[in-house]
Amino acid sequence: MNAKPSASSEDARRLQAIWETAIDGIITINRRGRIESINPAAARLFGYSAEEVQGQNINMLMPEPYHSEHDEYMEHYQATGRKKIIGSGREVRGKRKDGDVFPLYLSVAEVQLEGKTIYTGIVHDLSEQKRIESQIRELNQSLERIVQKRTEELSETVNQLLRTNQQLEHEVTERKRAENALRQSERETRQALEKEKELSELKSRFVSMASHEFRTPLSTILSSAALVGRYPSSDQQDKRQKHIDRIKTAVGLLTDILNDFLSLSKLEEGKLAQQAERFSVDGFNREVIEEMLVLLLPGQRIVYQPPPSNLEVHLDPRLLKHILFNLLSNASKYSADHQSIYYRCTPEEKLLRFEVRDEGMGIPQRDQEHLFGRFFRATNVSNIQGTGGGLHIVRGYVEMMGGKITFRSTEGRGSVFIVQLPIDQTP
């Protein structure tokens, strides 16, 4: 049977609609590895009805060796807390009802709901992507054979030319010219091959991204990270790896946000625990800005005014990063290309003040009183993607950390968001 959120609110209906219509499969299991719920997409993917799998061991959907190893892995994780899959994603194989084994991408998250631990898996069928990859490999191999044949033909032509003109006075000149022509041809041919490979990679990347465009943000980012890592450009590997690491960082951040979002009632009830740490504010700010740079629109920049270099605080860095990422990404998303975002951090007695200012579209006056409401979106941003839940969660985090958030905004001229937090959150 499909999962049915236990709230009768509009929020529950929204989540139920997402569950029912999600393109990727979603499966939840309990600590014993028994299937508690499966959405329609996952049921279709494995060829079962929801009733057939309800209460069954999840390993019924796995071929060997996953089938035999799964229960032992669950027991080992619950005994030691050491993760192999939980909190990350990887390629595995699934087994359909008819025995067909197929490739899929699996990401697993551990969620605590009302004192109960469940594990949520998101599965994406990789069959079509693998088929395309196979076609690309065959195309590359065929192209390499063509290049080799052409090179051999060119070599033979040059050799014939040299043999024919052995006795001629300009033999040396002709030979050098022929050799140069061959080397140039080889360079051009190899360049053509590299361009063809690059185009093939771009095509594969485009097909994958296009197929994921309307999926959940988490599935999109995971697939993009896997794709970039699978097809690195040899001359830009260091830079590409850096972006891959940032994408993975963003995936972890989104996963945390999603878990918090699904547990919004716990946030509002104050049941989410803080984990305060002592850290340098300037170093933390620069790390946030560096990770944010890859998300900026073309030509945008962040103008940063740092606090005193020796300033340290005792706060929860995970919650603070969520807050700042949300405010900075909103400033970018609702600003035009080539506009600046101003970010400063200043101490105020026992408080730390964070200010994010943009020169973007601003918030209509009639919408401002509802800005921190659940799922609320201003009337002038309907053409920009978003759920409307970000600022509601931000305010919850700020208040949970003992702070407050305020803003000023004028439509068409930009917005300023100010967060004030206590510098020391030692209990």
Q: Indicate whether 84 and 24 sit together in one domain.
A: yes
Q: Rounded to whole angstroms, what are the CA distances from 345 to 210, 327, 396, 401?
A: 39, 13, 20, 17
Q: Indicate whether 309 and 407 sit together in one domain.
A: yes
d(CA 229, CA 291): 18
The tokens for 352 are: 């730390």
Q: Indicate whether 316 and 277 sit together in one domain.
A: yes
d(CA 132, CA 378): 41
d(CA 27, CA 1): 11
Instruction: Give the per-residue pLDDT at 403.
Output: 92
d(CA 334, CA 297): 10
d(CA 95, CA 211): 23
Which 8-state DSSP code applies to residue 68? H
Is the sign of the CA dihedral 185, 187, 190, 191 positive or negative? negative
Q: Indicate whether 344 and 240 sit together in one domain.
A: no
Q: Indicate whether 236 and 102 sit together in one domain.
A: no
The tokens for 153 are: 């033909």
What are the helix (H) ranges across 99-170? 127-164
CATH code of residue 284: 3.30.565.10
Query: Dihedrals φ, ψ of 374, to 5°?
Result: -60, 130
Q: Indicate whether 278 and 410 sit together in one domain.
A: yes
Give the number of residues written for the chain: 427
| Residue 264 located in a structural domain | no
Q: Indicate whether 170 and 31 sit together in one domain.
A: no
| Residue 324 located in a structural domain | yes
| Residue 268 located in a structural domain | no
Number of domains in the chain: 3
* pLDDT tens per residue across all 427 residues of the chain: 444 444 467 877 888 888 888 888 999 988 888 999 999 999 999 999 989 999 999 889 999 988 888 878 888 777 777 776 677 788 889 999 999 999 999 888 888 877 788 888 899 999 888 899 889 989 989 888 888 888 888 888 878 877 776 776 666 777 788 788 878 878 887 886 776 664 454 344 334 433 333 344 554 466 556 556 555 566 656 656 666 666 665 565 555 455 445 545 556 566 677 888 999 999 999 999 998 888 888 999 999 999 887 889 999 998 899 899 889 988 998 889 999 999 999 998 889 999 999 998 888 888 888 777 766 667 666 666 555 667 888 888 898 889 999 999 899 899 999 999 998 866 5
DSSP string, 21-55: H-SSEEEEE-TTSBEEEE-HHHHHHHT--HHHHTT
Which 8-state DSSP code applies to residue 169? T
One-letter amino acid at 295 equals L
| Residue 80 located in a structural domain | yes
Domain finish residue from 255, 281, 306: 255
Q: Indicate whether 180 and 119 sit together in one domain.
A: no
Residue 33, phi-psi category: left (phi > 0), alpha (psi -120 to 50), beta (remainder): left
Find the helix or strand (DSSP H, E) in which 90 lies.
Answer: strand 89-95
Instruction: Give the per-residue pLDDT at 352.
Output: 92
Three-state DSSP class for residue 84: coil
CATH code of residue 110: 3.30.450.20
| Residue 343 located in a structural domain | yes
Domain finish residue from 125, 145, 165: 125
Q: Indicate whether 101 and 190 sit together in one domain.
A: no
| Residue 3 located in a structural domain | no
Domain finish residue from 255, 286, 321: 255
Q: Indicate whether 21 and 99 sit together in one domain.
A: yes
| Residue 347 located in a structural domain | yes
| Residue 232 located in a structural domain | yes
Q: Rounded to whole angstroms, what are the CA distances from 78 to 59, 66, 74, 119, 230?
A: 17, 18, 6, 12, 32
Closest-CA residue to 136 (of 205, 236, 187, 222)? 205
Give the domain extent around 187. 128-255
Model's pTM, two decimal places?
0.42
Q: Indicate whether 191 and 214 sit together in one domain.
A: yes
Q: Indicate whether 417 and 283 sit together in one domain.
A: yes
